[in-house]
Amino acid sequence: MTTNDIPDDRSYTDEHEWVMIAPGVNAVPSSPVRVGITSVAATALGELVFLDLPEVGSSIEAGQTCGEVESTKTVSELYPPVSGEVTTLNQAAIDDPSLVTQDPYGEGWLFEVQATELGALLTAEQYADKNGDQ
């Protein structure tokens, strides 16, 4: 059973990213999907001060580094949950990275991707089990 901190309407990665693809869906969506980091990652990172996101139009590959989030404590690499072309960046989060910490599943999303392939995705329950948040 998952907590309210980890929404069950999306899928997750072992590297603490989420993607707006319903759990258990194995088909590549026809429209762009939103990507962000989880509350587990946001809490561990602390206050975010800078986002280095992939450029619109760039190709990213699931599981391969595509950017970084920088906090007052550390820098953490981003590993996209899907492969495809970046279509949109969240300019509000770039301008104010604290949005990611405050609302990682809502206003703090990072970018959107026109997916061509899905990476290894977890359900909210699987992600919570792996991260001790049950």
pLDDT tens by residue, 59-76: 999 999 999 999 998 999
Is pLDDT at 9 greater than 90 in this prediction? yes
- What is the overall mean pLDDT for the chain? 93
The span from the CA of 131 to the CA of 47, in Å, is 20
The stretch 20-32 carries a mean pLDDT of 92
The span from the CA of 6 to the CA of 38, in Å, is 8
81-115 as b/e, with b when 16 or more CB fall inside 10 Å?
A: bbbbbbeebbeebbeebebbbeebbeebbbbbbbb
Encoding tokens for residue 60?
Answer: 């990213």
Cβ neighbours of residue 13 closer than 8 Å, sequence gap 6 or more: 19, 63, 79, 81, 119, 120, 121, 122
Is pLDDT at 134 greater than 60 in this prediction? no
In the prediction, which pLDDT does 109 show? 98
The stretch 45-72 carries a mean pLDDT of 96
In the prediction, which pLDDT does 133 show? 59
Helix (H) and strand (E) counts in the chain:
4, 9
> Lowest mean pLDDT: which of 1-5, 90-94, 108-112, 130-134?
1-5
pTM of the model: 0.93
In the prediction, which pLDDT does 11 show? 97
Higher per-residue confidence, 3 vs 121: 121
Number of neighbours of residue 7 by Cβ within 10 angstroms? 17
In the prediction, which pLDDT does 1 show? 32
Burial of residue 42, with CB atoms counted within 10 A of its CB: 0-12 exposed, 13-18 middle, 19 or more buried: buried
